[in-house]
Amino acid sequence: MAIELPPQATRVTVLRHGAVQGRAHVLRGILEDPLSPEGEAAMTAVLARLDAPVVDAVLSSPQRRCLDFARAWARRRGVPLHVVADLRERAFGTWEGLSTVEVQALDPQHFRRFHLDGAAPPGGESLAELRRRVRAAWRECVAGAVGGHRLLITHAGVMRVLLMELLGLPARHAWRIALPPAAHFQVSLLAGEAPVLLSLNPCAA
């Protein structure tokens, strides 16, 4: 059952894309692997439970594993879709497509800096760079929002940054939150008040 909010509060559901085709448990970043049928089914199941009150707008990363589902779901529901380029996943440079185990074996010192201090992978994006663009994109997405229920379909890296920004979560602690495929959280935004985390449910069903 959805938590009842004041009419002027905006509910935002943030949903990670489901499982994709291709190797699991890798740094996927800018790779464009499509959703698997199981991934699509998991996202559909989550939204069947969370679409109350009814979603009135969909925001999506431009990457295929988010946008394909967002476009189809928004069309079926007859709600507007907004593609937000800066809510794409972090770029992992030469580590794209590798597992963390493979990266650790390849360059353990660099991986440690990446994991603990947010250093950029070779040719990739630092945590600080990710935070700057996600913070700016989020502010633009929710500017002027008064009431309603928005759905954001994005990635684990973006979700961790949002939890850091909205809740003041230290960067080193963000990795302690499990965000498997189709993980999701809901937040309430009310002008003049701090954001409120309504739910955090990493399970797809």
For residue 124, the 8-state DSSP code is: S
Omega before 53 cis (within 30°)?
Answer: yes
Return the SS3 of 127.
Answer: helix
Please give the pLDDT value at position 1: 59
Give dist(CA 133, CA 110) in Å, integer: 23
What is the residue extent of each domain of the chain?
A: 10-91+130-201
Please name the residue that has the structure tokens 């935070």.
131
Q: Taking the model in full, what pTM does it have?
A: 0.94
Question: How would you write the pLDDT of the chain (205 residues) with one tens digit per residue?
Answer: 568 888 899 999 999 999 999 999 999 999 999 999 999 999 999 999 998 889 999 999 999 999 999 999 999 999 999 999 999 999 999 999 999 999 999 999 999 999 889 999 999 999 999 999 999 999 999 998 899 999 999 999 999 999 999 999 888 888 888 899 999 999 999 988 999 999 998 654 4
Q: At what angle do helices 64-77 and 37-50 cross, to 10 degrees?
A: 50
Please give the pLDDT value at position 202: 65
The domain over range 10-91+130-201 is classified in CATH as 3.40.50.720: no
